[in-house]
Structure formats: structure tokens, C-alpha cells
Structure 1
Amino acid sequence: MKIIVMGAGVIGVTTAYYLAKQGAEVVVLDRQDGPGRETSYANAGQLSYGMSSPWAAPGIPWKAVKWLFMKRRPLFIWPLISPTMWKWCAQMLRNCNEESYRVNKGRMVRVSSYSRDVMPDLVAETGIAYDGKREGTLQLFRTEKQVKASKADQEILDEYDSPYEVLDRDGCIRVEPGLAQVREKFVGGLRLKADGTGDCRMFTIGLTEKCVEMGVQFLYGQPIRSIAIEGDRVVGVDTEIAGRITGDAYVCAMGSYAVRVLNPIGIRLPVYPVKGYSVTLPVTDDAHAPQSTLMDETHKVAITRLGDRIRVAGTAEIAGYSDRLGPHATDTVKHVIGDLFPRGGDLSRAEGWTGLRPMTPDGTPVLGPSRYDNLFLNTGHGTLGWTMAAGSGRAVADVVLGRTPDISFDGLTAERYAR
């Protein structure tokens, strides 16, 4: 069985790996000149199994208004004349209630927990080195109000058996000793013990090499122009360079760009590109640098240790498909690392990056079958593509090959939007 995978980011490559592992002939198409060149390139590096939550939550509309007026704000909304953008924002607002939050959270945790369970086997099978650690995430609270608000998250973590511990100021310093010199800037934290870290791009490149050894063919520099349809089936993928590429089945794993090839064939997914920023800087003093990963709850900025580097990522910018990295775009993430770990890394050598997160309004990815018999979807993971990659890749591969996946696809498919 020949399967065409569209997209060579972490989602597409993990899907290709699990397809090839089960004996399929696989061809991966990507417009870039190598794997993991877009959203997978320099993301936060967090494997956030315990923090898999939708952005659409009770109280978020009011918080969003306040964020827009912060000096170092975590949210930017550019007033574009874009019906698609405003429709997506309206859909997200409709999910900002307790009932929707719990439903969406449950769906997301189903995928992320499965990914947590299968990831160790994937790493053991392949021997990939990706600066990986599994030492948990520290959600850092600067105010007592944030501590109290975290109790609702603790109830959900209990519901899904996700291990955690509540820490006071000294407990946070025990986990991250580098915070000792700024102890007056926070009051406590919530440590999610099952979470991990790792360089997503290193992982994607390493897994690509394993896929090649297994016979997977990667065709780079191949922008996809359209998907060709006859009746209820896909008959090929038309590329700008190589022309039509054909197979028995097709998987769309193109992240934010999936909608550009799916809309013309009648699959209308509310996947919107939410722009994020990061900087990567070298460690200068290990004793004063982060040891694992933490989330500054005030600024919504993630700080992650990746070997001898520090990755700092954050900001949600709703501005369409812009990939511009302006001169002040990374000011917020630079402020946070300098504020919490002033002696940990060399900000003068920070490398800036921006990428487009494929967000759904309910936070849940879009996985599995589509309206066409031989077209399958693996997109819409938002900020959690790295977290969910192994689980969604394996589950989608099972569905493509006609096997029963280990998790239920109820509420994960595109059908939830058709209704």
C-alpha cells in the first residue's frame, strides 16, 4: 500500500514512521528543503502532557482584554479585514465556558496521554538523541491569585490521573535552584511531574533519518498546489515541481497550511495560524540556568533547558499568515528569561524565530478520516504538536491502514465541525 504524507514537520514525520513500521510504502512531500523547517523548527521544546488544555476556557475573554493592555503582553490581535479570522475568534469565544472546556480538555488529554505512553517506545526503538529530559514542568505563579486559580486545574489533573505537586516558594527553588536569586518575584508553583522536554527539530531530523533507512522517500522543495479528486476519492497530489504524485491513500499533515489545500475540495476546517515567537541562547552558568522547563503564568512564556542551550517561547499573535520577525517581536520572551534567570544565559547571542501554530477554536486536533475515502487528517495541534506527535502519528497510521487504534477517535475527527 502506497501512502502519500503531505508535510515533513514533526506530525508528518511521526505519521510516516508508524506507517512504514507497519509495512506501508510511504512518500513524504514538503515545500521546504528539509524536515522540521517550519513550526517544528524552534518551538518551546516542552512535552506538555500535564498541561494539555484548550486556550478557550472560562474567564479567558476578560483575561484577553487585560493582556492586550499589558506592557509585555502575551497576546496581540491585529485588526485585519479577515472574515476567516473573526469567525475563528467567535468560534473560540463560544468554547469559553465550563462545559465546553471540560469536553475539549478530555479530548486533548486523551491524545496527549497516549503520546506520553508511546513516546518512550519510539525513542527506544530508534535511539534518537534530541536533548530529551523527563523532569517535569514548573508552572510558576507570581501572585497568590494565580495560586488560587490553579486549584481548578488541579481538579482536572486529578480527574485524568496526571501526577503533580503544589509547591511554595522554597519548593520551586528546590526544583529550579537558579530561581533562588529572584525569589521575591514569585510566590509558588504547580509542578507537573509527567512532563518532559526536548528539541523538536532534532527529533524530527533524527526520525527522518530512521524513516529513510526504512525505505520512506522524502521529496523536498515540492509546494503542493492542489489535491485531485474523482468522486469520493483522492487520485493524486499536484505539486508545482514534480507534477502529480499518486498513491493509494493520503495524509494531510500540513499544519496551518492544511486549510489551503483542503478548502478547495470542500473540507472546511477552522484551523487558524496563531503566530508565536522564541529565542534560543547559550547557557553561560549552569548553576543559575533552568534545569528543566517552566511556564511563567503571568506572561505565558515557556523557558526550557535543551542541553547547553535555553529556549524561551511565547506570545500569541493573531495576524494571518505573516511570518515576519520584527525588531521588537521577541522583547517579551527576552524580558522573561532576563527577569527569572539573569545569569543563566547570554542574551546578546539569542537567536530569534517565529512560527505559525495551527490552532482550532476548541483546542483539539483534527485526526483521522475525512469525507473522502482515502484522505486522512493529522493537523490542528496548536501549541501541542510536539507533545501529541507520537500519539497522533501512531493512531492516524493505524486508521489509514484499517487497524483499530488504541484510543477512541470520538470528537477528534473533522465530523465535529460538520455538525
Structure 2
Amino acid sequence: MKVIVMGAGVIGVTTAWYLAQEGHEVEVIDRQPGVGLETSFANAGQVSPGYSTPWAMPGLPFKAAKWMFEKHSPLVIRPRFDTAMFRFMGELLMNCTEKAYDINKGRMLRIAEYARDRLDALRADTGITYDGAQKGLIQLFRTDSQIEYAAEDMRLLAESGVEHKLLTVDEILAREPGLAHARHLLKGGLLLPGDQTGDAHLFTRRLAKMAEEKGVKFHLGVTIEALEAASDAIVSIRTSAGRMTADRYVLALGSYSPRFLKPLELRLPIYPVKGYSLTMPIADESRAPVSTVNDETYKVAITRLGDRIRIGGTAELNGFNLRLSPDRRETLELSFSEMYGGGDLSSAKYWTGLRPCTPDGTPIVGPSPRYGNLWLNTGHGTLGWTMAAGSGQIVADQISSRQTAIPSLDLSLDRYGV
């Protein structure tokens, strides 16, 4: 069966890999000249199933109102007339209930844990390397209230069978000695030993090369102009290189996915949420992370990638704007300087990307409700790298008419009733 995957980020490339493993003829289309050059390029570097948490949670409206007056707020809303943004915010707020939070986090943990296991298997089977490590993640708490609030997450982690442990400050420093200078700032931490790290861009490039060796054909530098449909099926993709056809199609275009379904009267509840990162060489080994930590106060991730440090964070609602904001850089630098300070910030590469977020935090993975030969693999938010191997395998299984290893019906677009 011939399958065209639209999008060559970490989601599209992993999907193409698993489809090729099933024996399908696979082609990938992307407007960029290489793979993994957008949201997958310089994300926080975390494969973090244990930290898979929806932004829509009880108490978020109060927190968001408070953050509006803070210079280093983890959430920034740029004033603009944008009906899509208003609709996304409204649907996000509707998910800020305890019931919705439990359901959404449970779904996210399910696919993220499965994805981590598939990534482990992929690494074992192929020997692929990507500046990765399997040393866990620590969520750092600066206040007693943060520890108290984490109790609900720990309950859900326990119910989902996810290993975790509440750490004292001494236990944190035993695992991350580079934080010794920040001892006075810390109250405790939540260890997620099953979480991992790795360079998503490097992984995507190397997996794409392996996929090519399996016969996958990449059409890079080719712009997708429209999906052409007849009644209940996609018949072709109109591109800058002409029309392309297949038996099955997979839409994995991240934040840009809704644009291609809107003309087909199918709404994807996805909005681009802007994130930022800094990447720098390690300047002082004694003050560098061993693995990865999340500064809960600023919602900033600090990750070691080989001999580099990646600092990522901020959720900014500003449409498709890709301007690099100086004040967002200040927040990343502040968190890192307070916690570690072992990197060369003067030589850091500053980057921004758009995360494709859904109101409930769960990606949209599965067949489309209207077009029988179209599959969706998009809307992973900040967790595309975390969930890539799992969602790619699920789509490959479904297209191959195989039973998925985990329940997947509630991951599809059907849950929104569109």
C-alpha cells in the first residue's frame, strides 16, 4: 500500500519509519529543505512521559490571571484579534475541571509511556544515537505549596503505574550535584526515573536516513498547497511539484495541520503555542546538569545533551509569529543562572518554535471522521518528542489493520464530536 506522510518533523519521520517497517511504500513531503527543521529543531530535549501533564488543570484561570502581572511569567498572551486563539482559550478553560484533568492526564500518560517503550525498542533494534540518556527527570519545587499541589499528580502517576518518588533537597543534590549553589532555593523535588533526554533534531535526521535506506522517499523543499477530496476520500495532494497520490494519507504538519482540513470542512482544535530555547556548550562541568530538571516556578526545562545544555520554556499565545522575544530569553537565562550557571550564555543559540496544542492536551492520533483514507497524527503540544514513537506506531498499526498495543479510540478526533 502506498502512503504519503505530510510533514517531516519528528512525528512525520517516526510515522514513516513504522509504516516502512510494515512493508508499505512510503513518501514524505515537507516544505523545508531538511527534516526536523521546525518544532522538532531545538525543543527542550526531554522524553518525559512522567511529566506529561495537560495545561488545562484546576486552578489554571487563577494562576493565569496572576501570571499576567509577572515579568517572568511561564504563560504570555499577546493581545491580538484572533478568533482561533479565543476559541482555543475557551475550550482550554472548559477542560480546567478535576474530572477533565484526570481523564486528559490519564490519556497523555498512556500514550507517553507507550512511546517511551517504543523508543527504547527502536534504540535497541537499530543502535540509533542522538545525544540521549536515560537518567530520569526531576521536577524542582521552590515552595511548599508546589509540593502540596504535586500530590494530585503523584496520585495519578500511581494509578497509571508510573514510577516516581518525592525527593528531599539532599536527595536532589545527590543526583544533580550541579544544583549545590541553588540549595537555598529548593524545597524538594519529584523524581521521574523513567524519563529520558535526547536531541530530537538529531534523532529525526538519523531516523530519516535509516528510513531512506528502507525505501522511504522524501520530497523536501516541496510546498503542500491543498488536499483534494471527493465525497469521503482524499484523492490527491496538490503541491508545488505537482499532484501526488497514494492509497492512504497521514497529516503530520503540527500547528499548520488545521489549515489543510478547514477547506474540507473539518475542524482541528489545534492552536500554535510558541516556545523558546537556548542551546550552549558546557562551560563548567561542576555546575552542569547530569540529566534534566524542570524548574516548576518558571516552567523551564534544563537538559544536558552530550556536551551541550538546552534550556526550554514559555507558553506564548501569539498566532504564527516567530519573532525572538528578548524578555523570554531573560526568563530562560534567569532560571538557568539561579539553578546551575554552568553554561556559556554569551554563546547560546536562541530559538523559537510553534507547538501544536489541543485544548485537552492529548494529541489527535487516528483516522479522520470524514475521509476514510486520511489519518491524523498531530496536536502533540510540548510532547511531540516524548510521544513520537508511540503515535507513529499507532498510526502504522491502524493503517495496516492491526490491533494497537494500547487503547487508541479516545485519541482520535472523534472525541471532539466534529
Whether TM exceeds 0.5 here: the answer is yes
Q: Residue 80 of structure 1: SS of its match in structure 2?
A: coil
1:226 maps to 226
- Matching residue of 1:191: 191
Q: 1:117 and 1:182 mapped to 2: Cα distance? A: 33
Q: Secondary structure at the match of 1:50?
A: helix
1:312 aligned partner? 311
Aligned to 1:251: 250
Distance 1:365 1:256 in 2: 12
1:48, distance to aligned residue in structure 2 (A) = 0.7
Partner of 1:356: 354
What amino acid is the match of 1:376? Answer: W
Aligned to 1:271: 270
Deviates more, 1:97-106 or 1:328-337: 328-337
Which residue identity does 1:291 align to in structure 2? V
For 2:344 and 2:358, how far apart are their aligned partners in 1? 36
AA partner of residue 335 (structure 1): L
Specify the code of the residue in structure 1 equivalent to 2:386: T
| Equivalent residue number for residue 279 of structure 2 | 280
Tell me by how many angstroms 1:198 deviates. Answer: 0.3
Cα distance between partner residues in 1 of 2:91 and 2:177 = 42
Secondary structure, counterpart of 2:327 in structure 1: coil
For residue 70 of structure 1, report the CA deviation from its aligned partner: 1.4
* Counterpart Cα distance in 1 of 2:417 and 2:239: 28
User: 1:369 matched to which residue of 2?
Assistant: 367
In structure 2, stretches of 5+ residues that fail to align are: none
Q: 1:358–1:379: 8 Å Cα contact kept in structure 2?
A: yes
Q: TM-score if structure 1 supplies the norm length?
A: 0.98
RMSD: 0.9
Q: Which amino acid aligns with 1:298?
A: T
Identity across the alignment (%): 53
Query: 1:316 & 1:89 partners in 2: Cα distance?
Result: 13
Aligned-partner Cα distance in 1 for 2:217–2:200: 21
Contact between 2:72 and 2:328, CA under 8 Å: does it hold in 1?
A: no
8 Å contact from structure 2 (residues 106, 156) kept in 1: no
Q: Which amino acid aligns with 1:130?
A: Y
Deviations 1:328-357 (A, max 9, x none): 331111111111112x11111110000000
Deviations 1:48-91 (A, max 9, x none): 11011111000111111111211211111012111111011000
Per-residue deviation, 1:315 = 0.5
Letter in 2 for 1:414: L
- Measured in 1, the distance between the counterparts of 2:288 and 2:351 equals 21
Q: Residue 300 of structure 1 corresponds to which residue in structure 2? A: 299
Residue-by-residue CA offset, 1:152-188 (whole Å, 9 max, x unaligned)? 1111111011111111111111110011122101111
Residues 1:346 and 2:328 are matched in the alignment: no
**Residue type matched to 2:265 in 1?**
G
Classify the secondary structure of the residue corresponding to 1:244: strand
State TM-score, norm by structure 2.
Answer: 0.98
The separation in 2 between residues aligned to 1:5 and 1:307, in whole angstroms, is 31
- Which whole-Å CA distance do the structure 2 matches of 1:339 and 1:5 have between them? 43
Q: Which runs of 4+ in 1 moved over 4 A?
A: none
Conserved in 2, the CA contact under 8 Å of 1:126 and 1:207? no
Is the contact between residue 178 and residue 290 of structure 1 (CA under 8 Å) also seen in structure 2? Answer: yes
Q: Once structures 1 and 2 are overlaid, which stretch shifts more, 68-77 or 384-393?
A: 68-77
Q: Which residue matches 1:109?
A: 109
CA distance in 2, matches of 1:175, 1:50: 18
| 1:42 corresponds to | 42
How many residues in Structure 1 have an aligned counterpart in Structure 2?
417
Alpha-carbon offset, residue 147 of structure 1: 1.1
* Residue 22 (structure 1) aligned with residue 22 (structure 2): yes
Tell me the amino acid that sits aligned with residue 331 of structure 1. E
Which residue type is aligned with residue 211 of structure 1?
A
Q: Deviations over 1:281-301 (max 9, x none)?
A: 110121210110000000000
Q: Which 10-residue stretch deviates more, 230-239 or 15-24?
A: 230-239
Contact 2:249 2:374 in 1 (8 A): yes
Which residue number corresponds to residue 82 of structure 1? Answer: 82
